[in-house]
Amino acid sequence: MRDELMTIGSFSMLSGLSIATLRHYDEIGLLRPAEVDVQSSYRLYARDQVDVGRRVRLLREAGLSTDQIARILAGDDSEFRAVLAERRAALEQRTLQIQTLLDQLLQANRDGTSPSMQSAADFRLTAVNIGVNSETALETARRFWGDVLGTELDDWGNGAQQVVLGQGDNIGFLNISIRSSEEARHTDAAAFGLGVPGLDDTHQRALTAGATEQYPPTDGISEPRHSLIIDPVGNRVVLWESER
């Protein structure tokens, strides 16, 4: 049996999960090694765990939390069916978009014209708006984001705070305001990504300032290193490692 075990490095390459991620999953009980060497404390994994590791990676890439993945691995079919339905809807939407693009290309070929096309590179995120329902929540959000970003937010009056992110022509705005009576009926929190220089330091500042960790800084398979937190007023924020 022991001859069939592999090191964490080998398991990382086969499963697509980074070594740091595997250590974290062991610590939280999501994916434990088959054995830990008594003398060296090395984690050792069985070959039949590779498929489990790959499944965990795919579910994480689909946006599931570690708690959701744990329930699926434990045999919660309802959770898995819900995920499949969501992914199916997304793929159907993508298929429709591709078909529309093909129709445009065919029409342009028949007309002898060039279709007007845009890509994501033509757009830039300029603002993220966070709505809160009280002065207390506004102050909590103001203090939290001030600590995370290392700056004071500007008070625009009437329950609105703002900070400018970036520099030069590449700037955006983080706005925090109290919802109107109509908006307050909708309690859904915001969900957004934020590129940060120094992911580990920013992630730790966020936790110190009161955020809840969903998962720690993690090496992505096809995306930059990132982590996921929930800020003190309930917003889900992905922190992405970015260049200064």
Q: Is residue 202's pLDDT more than 80?
A: yes
C-alpha 237/C-alpha 228 separation (Å) is 6
CA 47, 49, 51, 56 dihedral sign is negative
Output the pLDDT for position 240. Answer: 81
Q: Is residue 237's pLDDT more than 90?
A: no
> Looking at the structure, do residues 139 and 69 belong to the same domain, yes or no?
no
> Looking at the structure, do residues 67 and 137 belong to the same domain, yes or no?
no
| Domain final position from 54, 75, 96 | 75
Q: For residue 97, is it within any domain?
A: no
> Looking at the structure, do residues 43 and 152 belong to the same domain, yes or no?
no
What percent of the chain is predicted at pLDDT more than 70? 77
pLDDT digit string, tens, across residues 218-229? 886 656 788 888
Q: Is residue 131's pLDDT more than 80?
A: no
pLDDT digit string, tens, across residues 77-120? 776 777 777 767 766 777 777 777 777 777 766 666 655 554 54
Output the pLDDT for position 178. Answer: 76
- In the chain, the number of structural domains is 2
Output the pLDDT for position 180. Answer: 63
Q: For residue 107, is it within any domain?
A: no
Output the pLDDT for position 153. Answer: 80
Q: For residue 85, is it within any domain?
A: no
C-alpha 116/C-alpha 120 separation (Å) is 14
Output the pLDDT for position 220. Answer: 66
* CB-based contact 36:235 (threshold 8 Å): no
Full strand arrangement of the beta sheet holding 35-36: 6-7, 43-45, 35-36
Which CATH number do you get for residue 140?
3.10.180.10
| Domain final position from 11, 40, 75 | 75
Q: For residue 87, is it within any domain?
A: no
pLDDT-derived band at 25 (thresholds 50, 70, 90) equals very high
Classify 134 as helix, strand or coil.
coil
> Looking at the structure, do residues 67 and 136 belong to the same domain, yes or no?
no
Full strand arrangement of the beta sheet holding 160-167: 127-132, 170-178, 160-167, 154-155
Other residues' Cβ atoms within 10 Å of the Cβ of residue 20: 14
Other residues' Cβ atoms within 10 Å of the Cβ of residue 196: 22
Residue 46 structural domain? 2-75
Q: Is residue 15's pLDDT more than 60?
A: yes
| Domain final position from 39, 54, 75 | 75
> Looking at the structure, do residues 140 and 55 belong to the same domain, yes or no?
no
Mean pLDDT of 123-127: 53
Output the pLDDT for position 118. Answer: 47
Residue pointed to by tokens 């908006």: 183
Instruction: For residue 165, give the nearest of 156, 175, 155, 157 by alpha carbon.
Output: 175
Q: What is the mean pLDDT of the chain?
A: 78
CA 200, 202, 205, 210 dihedral sign is negative
Which of 45-59, 120-134, 155-169 has the largest mean confidence? Answer: 45-59
Q: For residue 222, is it within any domain?
A: yes
Q: For residue 111, is it within any domain?
A: no
